[in-house]
Amino acid sequence: MLRIAVQAKGRLYEETMELLSEADIKISAMKRSLLVQSPNFPVEILFLRDDDIPQSVATGVADLGIVGENEYMEKREDAVVVKRLGFSKCRLSLAMPKDIEYTGIGWFEGKKIATSYPVILSNYMKEHGVNAEIHEITGSVEIAPGIGLADAIFDIVSSGSTLVSNRLKEVEVIMKSEALLIANKNLNAEKKEILDELLFRIDAVKTAEDKKYVLMNAPKSALDSIIALLPGMKSPTVMPLAQEDWCSVHTVLDEKCFWEIIGKLKALGAQGILVLPIEKMIV
């Protein structure tokens, strides 16, 4: 059985639980439950603080962990990245009071910067030859300039609304972050086999994201032109209809190009276009 360390609450927790659910791994996350076993897949979920996950995986307390890249880079624990999961995206940025002119990274020379990520920030400042005073704090980092604790902050930014509400502006993006699946370096053969099955399920879920299954009736006279428009997985499925001059065409479209292609299909005579969501896709 694999033990997976997962953030106990917050956005990363919610998106992790959604991913596991879509992979048909049932988890009953009861309140105050630290360790929960899945009834239908050989995994158990260990709920931890996000900053404890890298160490728990590196030391073997957990076999796998789903953690933000920001925490993985900050803790520098000896665990390996198995897969980038593509959700819980954010960035780590330097921000300062909005009414002060920013003149470049040299502005931070001699300044006090409040952050929960002193390792990442210290390395960045060394790379740029800037000698700043770094104050490590937890909690609401964004209020530090307003109460006179620091001149600037280095913190997670998603939408930027928190910065705006604290009269701060983002001036340097230091790194971008997303959820990572990390693993202990010493998994045995049995656990690696379970991990392979887990990755297979995750890949099926992630591949289906932003994809639509499209069915349409198409005139045979325009079939070659219609097929040329369709960027399907390999090639579209074409089946005859009762009406001799028409056929049914089935394909998969990426949502980002969906409306552009649908308009062109209609112009070529396609009718009865049906669009369906895709839950899983095996390639």
> Does residue 230 register a pLDDT over 90?
no
Q: Say yes or no: 120 and 253 in one domain.
A: no
- Residue 282 inside a domain? The answer is no
Residue 39 lies in a domain: yes
Asked if residue 184 and residue 83 are part of one domain, the reply reads yes
Inside any domain, residue 54: yes
- Do 155 and 121 share a structural domain? yes
Is 40 part of any domain? yes
* Residue 195, pLDDT score: 98
CB atoms within 10 A of CB 129: 9
Q: What span, in angstroms and rounded, lies between the C-alpha atoms of 206 and 211? A: 10
CATH number at residue 255: 3.30.70.120
- Domain assignment present for residue 140? The answer is yes
Same domain, 55 and 104: no
Same-domain pairing of 228 and 193: no
Whether residue 65 is contained in a domain is answered as: yes
Domain limits at 167? 90-177
CATH number at residue 25: 3.40.190.10
**Same domain for 68 and 201:** yes
Rounded to two decimals, what is the model's pTM?
A: 0.86
Residues 182 and 83 in one domain: yes
* Contact by Cβ (8 Å): 79, 65: yes
Is residue 171 located within the same domain as residue 41?
no
Domain count within the chain:
3
CA dist 209 and 72 (Å) reads 25
Residues 66 and 107 in one domain: no
- Say if residue 121 is in the same domain as residue 165: yes
* Residue 241 scores a pLDDT above 80: yes
Contact 92, 156 (CB under 8 A): yes
Per-residue pLDDT reduced to its tens digit, 153-176: 999 998 889 999 999 999 999 999
Residues 203 and 183 in one domain: yes
> What per-residue confidence (pLDDT) applies to 58?
98
Three-class SS of residue 222? helix
| Same structural domain, 139 and 266 | no
- Give the per-residue pLDDT at 32: 58
Residue 283 domain-assigned?
A: no
* pLDDT interval class at 232 (50, 70, 90): low
